[in-house]
Structures are given as structure tokens and as C-alpha cells.
Amino acid sequence: MDNIIARLRPQILRTEADPRPVVLMTCGIAGAGKSTLSKALVSALPNFERLSLDGILAEQHGIFDLDYPPEKYSTYLDEAALECKKRLTRLLSEKSRDVVFDRAFWNKEDRDEAKKLITSLGARWVLVYLKAPDKPTLWRRICQRREVQLNADCAYQITPDILDMYWNGFEEPRSEGEIVVNTAETPNEASS
């Protein structure tokens, strides 16, 4: 991840010429490396704060199918989205922190809405698309992270059918000002 962060650094740091707060928006399918990048970025650049729907959902309700029943997921996810928006608004209003917005941003409408909000709050956005090479690679990563430890970033149980739905429904950003990071290797090894 160090080389990815080094590549992103010039685009995500405030400058004297542009001192606005920065929101790095992650974009990609489950298993692409969004949370891995987000956590590494916060570790490398402590001025960034990570906002994650999954993290807020876990903070408020616990782990999917362990602390709450699956039928509550959609309702709790909607609540987490509202809380995420409130926290983003507060952080950007303070103008002292930058934000890593750790979300899939799977469709253009969602990305455009977030960009509009970020801009209206006097910040600038940087869209980073973590592009995975194929479904088998994503599936391998999803299985590996669930084997290591169940946490907020992997609590929702993604099945092969759900991954197919994500893969087929994902709207890849094109000419949206995105920075593409190809994650051909595992997210921890990604080099470009």
C-alpha cells in the first residue's frame, strides 16, 4: 500500500494554493481493497479520518448476523448512511481534518451525489477507483478476510450469488475525474 499512497499523496494533500479539506472517496466492489487502502492512508497520514458505513453500522448495532438479525441490515444501513453524512458534514465544517470516505460508491448517481455534497461543504473530492482484475480474485479475497477475523469490514456475508450481483451491477467510473488503482495482486501487495 505504501506505493499506492505515495502515488496518491500529491492529489490528496492540501496545498497553499488550495487549502480546502480533502475527501478521498474509495470506489470498488467488495474485496477490491477499499478498507485496506483507507486504513493504510489514515495510518500514513493522520490528518485523515476514516468514515465507513460498515464501521458506523458496527459501532451502532454490532456485527451482522451476530449482534443483530439479517432482516435488520437494510434499516441499519440506512441509519448508518445518515450518520455518515452527519459526520462528514461536521468534519468538513470544522475544516481541520481530511476524510477517507470508505464506501463502494457502486453507481454514478451515488458518486455524483457525494461529490455535490462535498463540494457544497467547501471541500474537494478525490475519487480513487480500486479496480480488481476479476471475480475469482475478489472471491478469494473475500474468503481470506473472513477466515482471518470477523469484523465490521467483512461482517456482511457475501455469497457467490451476491458477488455476481455486485459485479454485474457495478458502474465503473469513466471520465469522472477518477484515479484508477489496479489491484491485480492482493490489496496489500498492489503496486499501481
Q: What is the pLDDT of residues 138-162, one digit of tens each?
A: 999 888 877 766 655 555 678 889 9
User: pLDDT value at position 25?
Assistant: 98
Show the cell assigned to 15: 496545498
| DSSP calls for 90-144 | HHHHH-S-EEEEE----SHHHHHHHHHHHHHTT-EEEEEEEE-S-HHHHHHHHHH
Largest separation between any pair of C-alpha atoms in the chain = 49
Question: What are the sequence ranges of the domains in the chain?
Answer: 1-11+20-182
Select the more confidently predicted residue: 156 or 21.
21
Q: Report CA torsion sign: 71, 59, 27, 119.
A: positive
* Domain 1-11+20-182 class, CATH top level: alpha beta
Q: How far apart are CA 55 and CA 186, in angstroms?
A: 22
* Structure confidence by residue, pLDDT tens digits, 75-131: 999 999 999 999 999 999 999 999 999 999 999 999 999 999 999 999 999 999 999
User: pLDDT value at position 148?
Assistant: 67
**Whether the predicted pLDDT of 39 surpasses 60:** yes
Mean of pLDDT over the chain: 89
Beta strands 22-27 and 98-102 are: parallel
Q: How far apart are CA 84 and CA 99, in angstroms?
A: 11
